[in-house]
Amino acid sequence: MPGLRAPPGHGSDDWELGKANAIEVPETVGEDGCFFDHVPLFAGQHVYKVNEALADTIENAGGLLARVTKGATASASAPAAAPDRTTARIIDGKAFAAGLRARLADHVTALKAQGVTPGLAVVLVGEDPASQVYVRSKGRQTREVGMNSYEHRLPAETTEADLLALIARLNTDPAVNGILVQLPLPGHMNEAAIINAIDPAKDVDGFHILNAGRLATGQKAMVPCTPLGCLMLLRDRLGSLSGRHAVVIGRSNIVGKPMAQLLLRDSATVTIAHSRTRDLPVLCRQADILIAAVGRPHFIKGDWIKPGATIIDVGINRTDDGLVGDVDFDAAIAVAGAITPVPGGVGPMTIACLLANTVTAACRQNGIDAPVF
């Protein structure tokens, strides 16, 4: 193409594309770094001045996440200041859970037409007030989506042998597709032995050692409810998680470890951390996705968060000011791209995913294709 030279005002990809397709790519910037007179809006202005003006415009419109002045270097230990405004989108777990339950009700109706009514058995040992509230809520929501709910309330002095005998009966009951033993159990019981006595196919909590192993090795498994709910919220917010750096703070068998496995399954790059991890703030600032499940109120500070990151706060901590999460919400909301509130974020998803797991279990046990949620 005669007369065309690689123009300083374009990237090499633009230049090569034009050259390959015989498209003229006119020069826009002269040797002095100023735009030529034929360039609209920027004629005669130096590129640095234009870039500064564009940055000012974007910042005033509230769209600039960070700004580094000429000669400055970015540091992982000293993140760029976030704009002085509320940026984060609230991830409404309560609304998402309501939509999921509505879809579940439709699936249950379809299963009933095939002669299958999913049934969930919940076992409560003792009179722990919080556990009683959870059990009542689980029973109510189970019935609301059209499934059968079976509640077994046992006194705190129930022996481990008696509880194991009840689980054995539920394992063989064809009307029961899902079994959940409400935790915590009284101190005289072996929690691991109780969990692993549940038929893995009916283990809708996803805590059985076989389900944990299957999840870790990429096989079909019953997945713990809270991590599954977090994954649903992330997919809804971000779409593909492939290649994103996810930092999971927490290493419990209930949330941290299965959450990491689910993120790996979705091709995220995963780092597991905990309260004793060295330089934890530095690590958090590298996260595109930050899962907080450490169980300490406001443990994650606002300046630990990468601008624009998606924050899933699993923590539910009771304080004098009410329920709060593991993340300092007021500080984080000015930096993050999206964040779950506490309450109203992850919490409602846990029971909704328990119901979803029960539907999945009923389908698998009856040779029916399970829905994808």
List active site positions.
Answer: 138, 182, 205
The sign of the torsion formed by the CA atoms of 241, 244, 248, 252 equals positive
- How far, in Å, CA of 155 to CA of 152, rounded? 10
Nearest to 287, CA basis, from 311, 267, 303, 256:
311
Round to whole Å and give the CA distance between 309 and 304: 11
What is each CA distance from 2 to 14, 24, 52, 190, in whole angstroms?
A: 17, 10, 34, 83
Pair of tokens at residue 222? 């019953």
Region label for 363, one of left (φ > 0), alpha (ψ between -120 and 50) or beta (otherwise): alpha
CB of 326 within 8 A of CB of 314?
yes
Q: For residue 106, which of 367, 356, 364 has the smallest C-alpha distance? A: 356
Nearest to 360 by CA among 156, 223, 159: 223
- Residue 41 Cα distances to 7, 29, 64, 318, angstroms: 18, 13, 21, 56
Q: In what side-by-side order are the strands of the sheet with 289-292? A: 89-90, 338-339, 310-313, 289-292, 245-249, 269-273
